[in-house]
Structure 1
Amino acid sequence: MVEITEVKNEKELEEFVKFPFGLYKGSKYWVPPLINGEIKTFSPQHNPTLEFCDTCLIVARKDGRVQGRMALIINKRENEMLGQKKLRFGWLDFTDDGEVTQALFAYAQKWGAGYGMEYMEGPVGFCNLDKAAMLTWGFDELSNTTALYNYPYYPVHMEANGFEKCTQWIESEMKVPDRVPDKIRRFSSLLKEKYSLSTPDLSTKSAIRKYIPQVFDILNQTYSVLENFVPLTKGQQDFYAAQFMDIINPDYVSCVLDAEGNMIGFGVAIPYMASALQKAGGSLWPFGWYHLLKAHKHNDRVELLLIGVLPQWQRKGITALIFDEVMQKFIDNRIVYVESNPEQEKNTQVQLLWKDYESRRHKARWTFTKKLK
């Protein structure tokens, strides 16, 4: 028999956060998060998105042991702005036991229906900048810091419990060339001249900070056309900016300014931290900090974190200009591979970034949805 209980205290929260560390023990592909960071994610004192979310964390126990977990989230701001009644679910992990997943989803459906929700969708986080979508292909590829990893049996359980595929996400890996292609370089030069564009010096974090408000303004406008996107609040912007500033390398940040000095586009990549996080094992101590610091300074791989261009400047080649700037830094720093973060399949503008480079599509994932009875 499976027992479902709600997380009510710090001890149970720690148990919830640590469950996948046992589930994925020995996996070569799962990348563990930092435990303290995960715990803070569920704290209203640290995560401003919780100000407008109803949240319930549940664990499934069988034979006296935790066999599964799930976060149930009602983002009231999102639902009101989009005119929907959606129950988000995330932090979904479970053993390969049909009774466990059936019990988890039955509890979730009852909880969501009790709040008047009409359907559930996931795995997702509290908002659109959190990790999302279940891996459905590419299980033998190392995950990254901006994506979820799961065993191949996960999507099987989703379909067995009546879920349907909702939104597809894809990931690509690009090989960094020995030099920036001539046509990209020529095109970038022509763009700068034609539109009087410039790329400021962002070699320090202090130089980057003054552009953060414009980055989020562009982000909100760029992704407004994507499914279920809701603009970030000022509190959310500050929260995610602090997270990003901890991990970015100024060499891998580029932005484009118009003739008046206003930002019209940006791109951010981060050092690839997957192997370092595996060595850290969920903690900065005693040696996790060393592995992360080493990966930050010495790496042959990066993750493309965010890229955005104002709608009125899209389809004019601005992304090529952004890539031209940052690609040269990759070459100078001996980066061999660039890994994309999960991109919605419908986001064709981002996917065009890879067309002039040697690349492979190596992972796919879906979110799943189900009506609540």
Structure 2
Amino acid sequence: MGLIIKAISTKKELKEFIKFPDRLYSGNKLYVPAIHSNELLTLSFDKNPAFEFCRAKYWLAYDNGEIVGRIAGIINDRYNEKHNIKYARFGWLDFVNDKKVLMLLFQAARQWALSENMEYLHGPLGFSSFDASGILIGGFDEMSTSFAHYNFPYYSKLIEEFGYKKDVDWVEYNIKVPEYVPEKFVVGAELIKKRYNLHSASLKNKKDILKYADDIFKLINNEYKDIYAFSQLSKKQIMALKKQFALFLRPEYISIVLNSTNEVVAFGITMPSLAQAQQKAKGKLFPFGFIHIMNALKKNNTVEALLIAVKKDYQNKGVNGIIFTDIMSAYIKNGINNFESTREMENNVKINNLWNKFEYRQHKRTRCYIKQL
């Protein structure tokens, strides 16, 4: 039978596509399995709202009947139309250490992209910025965060051998939570509030958070619009994201900053790390995976950043100080000593400079590649 590539055509094959990395990284203590049910929703044409403006195709590579690689091809028409480009994306890329396997995967994605009149192939990227993206090129001795994707060091080497070049890099930081909230943070936050007539939303439960959700996503669409690979979220996508993340939210780890008319002008959303819980769950929420997730939400020493945004009119005015002052006391109270930033553009100086006030280290780097077809 030998080495072959096959486009996915059944739900059984899609489930095999989803589970392949779990076998590839079996025994690896740094790999964090994605939740299979969430992956199934994302990749299903009839479940993911992104398919209102995206097209996709998935392939599995087999060697004598055994799965040895996977890749997704995605075209985000909304993103292409906005930027007047013809880009296809590749994502969900995993493969054994064999150049021939990667060649088959890239050939399949390339031929499909050409048949759809695309001019470039870039990735790894998903349907939206909420999907895992990038190839890890630094930090192979660090555990992946909850919603990121770990990979072996040979990935980047083989990808580059096929002529793919760096398009952008993302970096990640580990920040040590101080033993107490610095007084200058507290004083500074109060001064900023008075100067610009701002206040922090009272968040006692998830209902308090969700009542601001639409304004938060509106701010995301406005302030993230020029971020690499971001495309505006639709109403259906927003509804799906609310449902997906509602379970994981803890009010004390979230800050929402309002102006005098109670308009959301900034927010920071962090959550307890689920990485170790997902390892214990092995990709399955039931029967016991859900218990591991709930335990991690209640007792943890690490939090991860999900989202942060400040309305343009309030940027460079110290509003970030309000956000960190709001949530830092909760970290200290609950025994949190590690803060994991999720992937940030390497040239996003405004965000990167936030960590200079703390003990920190830049410990991971991830790359998005591009190649003209």
Normalized against structure 1, the TM-score is what? 0.98
> Match for 1:171: what amino acid?
E
> Match for 1:88: what amino acid?
R
- Is the 1:171–1:342 contact (alpha carbons within 8 Å) kept by the matching residues of 2? yes
Q: What do the CA deviations read for 1:325-363 (whole angstroms, capped 9, x no partner)?
A: 011111111101010111111222221221111111110
- Is the 1:272–1:302 contact (alpha carbons within 8 Å) kept by the matching residues of 2? yes
In 2: Cα distance, 1:186 partner to 1:357 partner = 17
In 2: Cα distance, 1:229 partner to 1:74 partner = 13
Q: Structure 1 residue 12 and structure 2 residue 13: aligned?
A: yes
Q: What do the CA deviations read for 1:57-82 (whole angstroms, capped 9, x no partner)?
A: 00111122111000100111111121
3-state SS in 2 of match to 1:247: coil
Provide structure 1 residue ranges, at least 5 long, that are not aligned to the other structure: none
Q: Structure 1 residue 37 and structure 2 residue 35: aligned?
A: no
Q: 1:51 is matched with which residue?
A: 52
Q: What do the CA deviations read for 1:22-64 (whole angstroms, capped 9, x no partner)?
A: 1000001010011111111112332100122111000111122
In 2: Cα distance, 1:137 partner to 1:321 partner = 32
Q: Structure 1 residue 227 and structure 2 residue 236: aligned?
A: no
In 2: Cα distance, 1:362 partner to 1:320 partner = 24
3-state SS in 2 of match to 1:166: strand
In 2: Cα distance, 1:104 partner to 1:198 partner = 52
Q: 1:315 is matched with which residue?
A: 316
Q: Percent identity?
A: 40
Q: 1:123 is matched with which residue?
A: 124
Q: 2:244 is matched with which residue?
A: 243
In 2: Cα distance, 1:315 partner to 1:75 partner = 32
- Is the 1:82–1:228 contact (alpha carbons within 8 Å) kept by the matching residues of 2? no
- Is the 2:257–2:265 contact (alpha carbons within 8 Å) kept by the matching residues of 1? yes
In 2: Cα distance, 1:181 partner to 1:259 partner = 27
In 2: Cα distance, 1:222 partner to 1:301 partner = 27
Q: 2:330 is matched with which residue?
A: 329
Provide structure 2 residue ranges, at least 5 long, that are not aligned to the other structure: none
In 2: Cα distance, 1:310 partner to 1:316 partner = 11
> Match for 1:72: what amino acid?
G
In 2: Cα distance, 1:368 partner to 1:63 partner = 30
* Alpha-carbon distance, 1:169 to partner: 0.1
Q: 2:63 is matched with which residue?
A: 62
Q: 1:165 is matched with which residue?
A: 166
3-state SS in 1 of match to 2:292: helix
* Alpha-carbon distance, 1:117 to partner: 0.3
Normalized against structure 2, the TM-score is what? 0.98
Q: 2:214 is matched with which residue?
A: 213
> Match for 1:203: what amino acid?
K
Q: 1:112 is matched with which residue?
A: 113
Q: 1:137 is matched with which residue?
A: 138
Q: Structure 1 residue 187 and structure 2 residue 188: aligned?
A: yes
3-state SS in 2 of match to 1:190: helix
- Is the 1:44–1:51 contact (alpha carbons within 8 Å) kept by the matching residues of 2? no
In 2: Cα distance, 1:221 partner to 1:349 partner = 17
Q: 2:150 is matched with which residue?
A: 149
- Is the 1:71–1:89 contact (alpha carbons within 8 Å) kept by the matching residues of 2? yes
In 1: Cα distance, 2:217 partner to 2:211 partner = 12
CA RMSD across the alignment: 1.1
Q: What do the CA deviations read for 1:264-303 (whole angstroms, capped 9, x no partner)?
A: 0000001111011000011122321111111010001100
Q: What do the CA deviations read for 1:131-160 (whole angstroms, capped 9, x no partner)?
A: 111100000100011211100000011101
> Match for 2:151: what amino acid?
N
* Alpha-carbon distance, 1:180 to partner: 1.2
- Is the 2:54–2:74 contact (alpha carbons within 8 Å) kept by the matching residues of 1? yes
Q: Structure 1 residue 297 and structure 2 residue 302: aligned?
A: no
In 1: Cα distance, 2:224 partner to 2:212 partner = 18
In 2: Cα distance, 1:231 partner to 1:288 partner = 32
3-state SS in 1 of match to 2:60: strand
* Alpha-carbon distance, 1:129 to partner: 2.0
Q: What do the CA deviations read for 1:308-337 (whole angstroms, capped 9, x no partner)?
A: 000111000111111110111111111010
The alignment covers a number of residue pairs equal to 372
* Alpha-carbon distance, 1:228 to partner: 3.5
* Alpha-carbon distance, 1:176 to partner: 0.5
Q: What do the CA deviations read for 1:102-143 (whole angstroms, capped 9, x no partner)?
A: 111111111100100000110111112211111000001000
- Is the 1:48–1:235 contact (alpha carbons within 8 Å) kept by the matching residues of 2? yes
In 2: Cα distance, 1:328 partner to 1:46 partner = 39
> Match for 2:188: what amino acid?
F
In 2: Cα distance, 1:178 partner to 1:244 partner = 29
- Which moved further from structure 2: 239-248 or 291-300? 239-248
In 1: Cα distance, 2:239 partner to 2:55 partner = 21
Q: 1:287 is matched with which residue?
A: 288
> Match for 1:298: what amino acid?
K
Residues 70-85 of structure 1 aligned to structure 2 (within 5 Å) = 70-85=71-86
3-state SS in 1 of match to 2:188: helix
